[in-house]
């Protein structure tokens, strides 16, 4: 154990001078950068890097900071800092490894070595420490010391399994998983405190939350205009009390006694008011830093480079053409495999489950593609970026909410200093966003491309082929034969498609620069088009993602979520073959549109009648009974699927309440079997091919040749 009793001695005593010499030996052996360390004297206050001679002179003249007893900035690890003399602390042989390893990763091991770092101003160097050194370093040191004590203090004197911190963390985890309220948590703590008076427990949820927040898993609350016009964020807007666009109040009950009605006078004034809407933003940089502060995750972050693809199949985004082209365009980024590649996922959900509520919230998640395929899509590997409040979807104003993230991504592209626990050195880490993942309406909001017009396809762009159905009142996209080989028989087949032949080739793929030019020219024409009453603009906005310097060079910028597509297709197939009157696609309007197009005469409605002949893909009642009985009787192993039988109503011959994963299991594994006895062979064969298609593209390993055939 390191002797630190000299810190409290007078600077003129021999004990103090010997202690200073020991401290300098300890620090310069571990954290010296070009012969300098951070000076811990009272005058410098941990803000200046100095040589050994300078630090010695300062400590002998100005004195050592009295409260700096855990030397985390000078190479002391958590284990070295343990107070072994306390009877209420754990001994090294007792069970406390997981939490102690985490604390050591956060506060100890990352400061053990600073070799290989260029000499740079201390302001920049401070930002690279695993522990962010604040202006008030004494408070930071006290905070860390108290957290370490809680992590090293037994829950009660005889407890060998839990420390105070580990017990509260585990109890808080249960609260989150079970959705318990804050009041419930406080009541449980109160009961435990009364039942076990000698236990080291906080008295309330507030005290427990203060303890957990010291681990650094916090977030920022950013006030938002109630109409989603702007964020009250940044030096220009942080103190404003009204939206500069719509003039809506920032707060629910604003105090109008301010000398300037549009600006808040003091921080105390702001704290008294309740905001109309709050964005919760989780800073990305500290979370990426932590990936390298743990030796376990740090090794996984190199997987994509250390384990090359051996069979040529697509198993991970690193095998894709988009990844490889990005490496060619930015070789400096590709040179270090520790640089991080991200994907952004965006979707909304009802926080109240299936209750009859229109309220929704919109989380934004980030995927780290450096991880191997068995890790990168796991829940524990996802990074929550922000939670966009409801009650309605943000729509095109999603760019307003994404401002903090985009600003941070631009800084991460320039690079930040991060400590790598595997190499024991700092390195310059860069990060890039590859693409977004969303459903089709979400793509509209993220990209700015209008998906509600006749040119809805973002890939075909302005070369999209569509037709407005007169009776169905929807757009029908019929140009899919353009991708077939030139000599394919379907190109000349008029009767089975839309009554025309297809001689054109597929539309060309536009580069990012070409798309950006389209957006800029579209913005110039926007006012003229709106004033003239023309059709809605195809490019509704310039997406905020174009602010990223590399975004125009990404081969793929927006991806559609397979989950939504598969569920929509599955629902449409099931409701159509079961002839669900409210949800089937085979209705009178569809039959009239076929008649208007002059194709498939056998499906045309009867003359002067609202009735129409049955189709070959519509099940009879007997067929429905067989089909639904098969689905009702299917059972799965635990964890493979939910209980699909709960969604089957044999009396009404209906299916209801399917979740996304239920549709996934049905589409790829159950329907090809269940359809065989309920539909004609020519219909079953087509549906089986459709199911096989989804099973192939959802596989863990994809062959490029098979994808081209599909």
Average pLDDT value for the chain: 83
pLDDT at 122 (0 to 100): 34
Of the two residues 106 and 231, the one the predictor is more confident about is 231
pLDDT at 279 (0 to 100): 94
343 within some domain: yes
pLDDT single digits (tens) 184-213:
999 999 999 889 888 888 888 888 888 888
Which residues are registered as beta bridge partners of 475?
A: 468
pLDDT at 62 (0 to 100): 84
Indicate if 569 and 440 belong to the same structural domain: no
Mean pLDDT value of segment 553-560 = 94
**Whether 650 contacts 628, CB under 8 Å:** yes
269 within some domain: no
Tokens of 158: 């005889």
417 within some domain: yes
What's the burial of 602, exposed, middle or buried (CB within 10 Å: 0-12/13-18/19+)? exposed
pLDDT at 619 (0 to 100): 94
Tokens of 361: 């919230």
Confidence of residue 429 (pLDDT cuts 50, 70, 90): very high
Domain-terminating residue out of 444, 474, 490: 444
Residues whose CB falls within 8 Å of the CB of residue 305, separated by 6 or more in sequence, listed in order: 337
Q: Which of 621, 681, 679 is nearest to 654 (CA)?
A: 621
Percent of the chain scoring above 90 in pLDDT: 40
The rounded distance, in Å, linking the Cα atoms of 209 and 215 is 10
193 within some domain: no
Domain-terminating residue out of 414, 444, 474: 444
489 within some domain: no
Q: With 90 as the cut, is the pLDDT of residue 650 above it?
A: yes
Mean pLDDT value of segment 279-288 = 93
pLDDT single digits (tens) 373-396:
888 888 888 999 999 998 888 988
Mean pLDDT value of segment 604-621 = 91
Q: With 90 as the cut, is the pLDDT of residue 530 above it?
A: no
pLDDT at 138 (0 to 100): 56
**Whether 481 contacts 490, CB under 8 Å:** yes
The rounded distance, in Å, linking the Cα atoms of 674 and 653 is 15
Confidence of residue 47 (pLDDT cuts 50, 70, 90): confident
- Listed ranges 14-23, 274-283, 525-534; the one with the highest mean pLDDT: 274-283
Q: With 80 as the cut, is the pLDDT of residue 417 above it?
A: yes
Tokens of 407: 């600003």
Mean pLDDT value of segment 497-513 = 88
151 within some domain: no
Domain-terminating residue out of 444, 461, 485: 444
**Whether 303 contacts 340, CB under 8 Å:** no
Phi, psi of 354 (to 5 degrees): -95, 15
Q: With 80 as the cut, is the pLDDT of residue 43 above it?
A: yes
Number of separate domains in the chain: 3
Mean pLDDT value of segment 688-703 = 91
Q: Which of 416, 424, 597, 574 is nearest to 500 (CA)?
A: 597
**HSE-up (13 A, CA, CB side) for residue 665:** 17
Provide the domain limits for residue 627. Answer: 563-578+619-709
Mean pLDDT value of segment 122-137 = 40
- What is the signed CA dihedral for 77, 80, 85, 86, rounded to 10 degrees? 10
* DSSP secondary structure letter of residue 108: I
Mean pLDDT value of segment 122-141 = 44
Given the DSSP bridges, would you call strands 362-368 and 340-346 parallel, antiparallel or unpaired?
A: antiparallel
Confidence of residue 294 (pLDDT cuts 50, 70, 90): confident
Mean pLDDT value of segment 506-522 = 89
Indicate if 437 and 568 belong to the same structural domain: no
Q: With 90 as the cut, is the pLDDT of residue 327 above it?
A: yes
Given the DSSP bridges, would you call strands 362-368 and 648-649 parallel, antiparallel or unpaired?
A: unpaired
Confidence of residue 141 (pLDDT cuts 50, 70, 90): low
Mean pLDDT value of segment 516-527 = 76
pLDDT at 579 (0 to 100): 92
pLDDT single digits (tens) 633-642:
998 888 888 8
Mean pLDDT value of segment 482-499 = 87
Mean pLDDT value of segment 581-610 = 90
pLDDT at 95 (0 to 100): 46
pLDDT single digits (tens) 558-577:
999 998 999 999 999 999 99
**Whether 221 contacts 231, CB under 8 Å:** no
241 within some domain: no
Q: With 60 as the cut, is the pLDDT of residue 317 above it?
A: yes
pLDDT at 109 (0 to 100): 42
Phi, psi of 276 (to 5 degrees): -70, -40
648 within some domain: yes
Instruction: Give me the helices (H) in 258-397, please.
Output: 267-272, 284-293, 295-300, 303-306, 321-329, 331-335, 373-376
Mean pLDDT value of segment 22-33 = 84
Strand ranges for 348-408 from DSSP E: 362-368, 383-388
């Amino acid at each position: 154990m390191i002797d630190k009793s000299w810190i409290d001695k007078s600077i003129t005593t021999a004990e103090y001078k010997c202690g200073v010499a020991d401290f300098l030996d300890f620090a310069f052996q571990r954290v010296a950068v070009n012969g300098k360390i951070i000076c811990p004297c009272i005058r410098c206050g941990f803000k200046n890097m100095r040589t050994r001679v300078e630090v010695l002179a300062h400590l002998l003249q100005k004195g050592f900071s009295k409260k700096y007893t855990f030397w985390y900035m000078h190479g002391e690890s958590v284990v070295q800092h343990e107070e072994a003399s306390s009877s209420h602390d754990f001994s090294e042989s007792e069970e406390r490894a997981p939490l102690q390893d985490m604390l050591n990763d956060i506060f100890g091991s990352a400061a053990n070595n600073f070799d290989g770092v260029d000499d740079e101003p201390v302001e920049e160097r401070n930002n690279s420490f695993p522990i962010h050194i604040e202006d008030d370093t004494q408070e930071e040191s006290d905070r860390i010391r108290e957290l370490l004590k809680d992590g090293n203090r037994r829950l009660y004197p005889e407890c060998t399994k839990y420390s105070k911190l580990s017990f509260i963390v585990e109890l808080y985890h249960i609260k989150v998983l079970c959705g318990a309220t804050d009041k419930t948590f406080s009541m449980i703590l109160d009961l435990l405190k009364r039942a076990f008076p000698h236990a080291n427990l906080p008295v309330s949820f507030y005290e427990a939350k203060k303890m957990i927040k010291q681990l650094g898993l916090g977030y920022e609350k950013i006030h938002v205009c109630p109409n989603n016009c702007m964020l009250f964020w940044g030096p220009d807007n942080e103190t404003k009390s009204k939206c500069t666009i719509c003039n809506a109040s920032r707060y629910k009950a604003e105090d109008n006694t301010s000398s300037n009605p549009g600006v808040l006078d003091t921080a105390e004034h702001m704290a008294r008011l309740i905001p109309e809407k709050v964005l919760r933003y989780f800073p990305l940089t500290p979370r990426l830093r932590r990936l390298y502060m743990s030796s376990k995750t740090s090794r996984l972050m190199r997987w994509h480079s250390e384990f090359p693809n051996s069979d040529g199949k697509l198993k991970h985004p690193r095998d894709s053409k988009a990844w490889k082209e990005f490496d060619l365009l930015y070789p400096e980024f590709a040179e270090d495999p520790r640089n991080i590649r991200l994907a952004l996922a965006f979707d909304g959900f009802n926080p109240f489950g299936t209750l009859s509520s229109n309220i929704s919230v919109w989380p934004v998640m980030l995927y780290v593609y450096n991880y191997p395929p068995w890790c990168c899509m796991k829940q524990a590997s996802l990074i929550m970026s922000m939670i966009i409040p409801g009650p309605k979807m943000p729509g095109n104003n999603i760019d307003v909410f994404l401002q903090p993230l985009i600003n941070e991504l631009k800084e991460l592209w320039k690079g930040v200093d991060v400590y790598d626990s595997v190499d024991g050195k700092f390195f310059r880490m860069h990060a890039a966003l590859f693409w977004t993942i969303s459903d089709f309406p979400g793509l509209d909001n993220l990209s700015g491309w209008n998906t509600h017009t006749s040119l809805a396809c973002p890939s075909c762009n302005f070369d999209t082929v569509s037709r407005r159905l007169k009776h169905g009142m929807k757009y029908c996209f019929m140009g899919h034969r353009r991708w077939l080989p030139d000599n394919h028989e379907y190109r000349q087949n008029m009767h089975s498609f839309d009554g025309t032949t297809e001689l054109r080739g597929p539309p060309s793929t536009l580069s990012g620069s070409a798309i950006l030019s389209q957006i800029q020219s579209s913005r110039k024409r926007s006012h003229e088009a709106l004033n003239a009453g023309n059709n809605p603009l195809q490019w509704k906005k310039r997406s905020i993602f174009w602010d990223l310097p590399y975004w125009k060079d990404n081969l793929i910028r927006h991806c559609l979520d397979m989950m939504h597509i598969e569920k929509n297709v599955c629902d449409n197939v099931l409701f159509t073959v079961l002839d669900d009157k409210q949800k089937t696609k085979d209705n009178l309007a569809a039959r009239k549109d076929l008649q208007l197009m002059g194709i498939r005469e056998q499906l045309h409605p009867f003359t002067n009648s609202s009735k129409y002949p049955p189709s070959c893909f519509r099940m009879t009642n007997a067929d429905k009974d067989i089909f639904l009985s098969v689905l009702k009787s299917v059972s799965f192993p635990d964890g493979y699927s939910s209980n699909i039988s709960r969604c089957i109503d044999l009396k009404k011959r209906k299916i209801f309440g399917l979740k996304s994963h239920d549709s996934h299991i049905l589409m790829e594994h159950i329907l090809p079997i269940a359809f065989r006895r309920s539909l004609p062979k020519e219909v079953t064969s087509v549906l089986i091919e459709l199911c096989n298609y989804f099973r192939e593209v959802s596989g863990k390993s994809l062959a490029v040749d098979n994808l081209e055939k599909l």
